Amino acid sequence: MFPWSQFSSINTASSVRHPSDNNATFHTFKGLAISLDLVKQNFEKYGHLDQQVHFLKGWFRDTLPTAPIGKLAVLRLDGDMYEATMDALIYLYPKVSFGGYLIVDDYGCVPACKKAVHDYRQAHGILDKIVSIDWTGIYWQRTN
């Protein structure tokens, strides 16, 4: 198993493909625009940048379908929007090992993210208990 990082630009109004994302303004917040170089610097700063870390630069919808990712013990999502959250769930959640964990950052503060999580869980019959981390983050352990 390899640790993976996904760097993705924020969806803009011209690329919105789900109605829940229509009024999103995340692309206007300069603090959310983090360069790949800064991501790499942060991995190095905390001693996590080595030959096992691979970065995929691009949209989740473009990079995740063919990403060479095997099994995951932990999947941490920070996609903000419905489309990005759903894309990550579609392409990565099936790779989470039984007993592994899914962590979602923006569940409590971005309604579109919460909707994507619930839509995915409902479509796939996921009944694992959602546990709150804080006012926005949640997790659950995959049991089936």
Span 100-130, pLDDT tens digits: 999 999 899 888 899 999 999 999 999 999 9
In this prediction, residues 131-136 reach a mean pLDDT of 95
Q: Would you place residue 9 in the very low, low, confident or very high pLDDT band (cuts 50, 70, 90)?
A: very low
Structural domain harbouring 107: 4-141
- How many structural domains is the chain composed of? 1
Looking at residue 52, its pLDDT comes to 83
Tokens matching residue 101: 């964990």
- Does 140 have pLDDT greater than 90? yes
Q: Which residues pair with 75 in a beta bridge?
A: 102
Predicted pLDDT of residue 32:
66
> Could you tell me which residue, 91 or 79, shows the higher pLDDT?
91
Question: Which residue pairs, CB below 8 angstroms and at least 24 apart, start in 15-20?
Answer: 15/59, 16/83, 17/83, 18/81, 18/82, 18/83, 18/86, 18/112, 20/81, 20/82, 20/111, 20/112, 20/115, 20/116
* CATH code for the domain of 124: 3.40.50.150
The span from the CA of 75 to the CA of 103, in Å, is 6
Q: Grade residue 51 by pLDDT with cuts at 50, 70 and 90.
A: confident
> For position 8, what pLDDT does the model report?
37
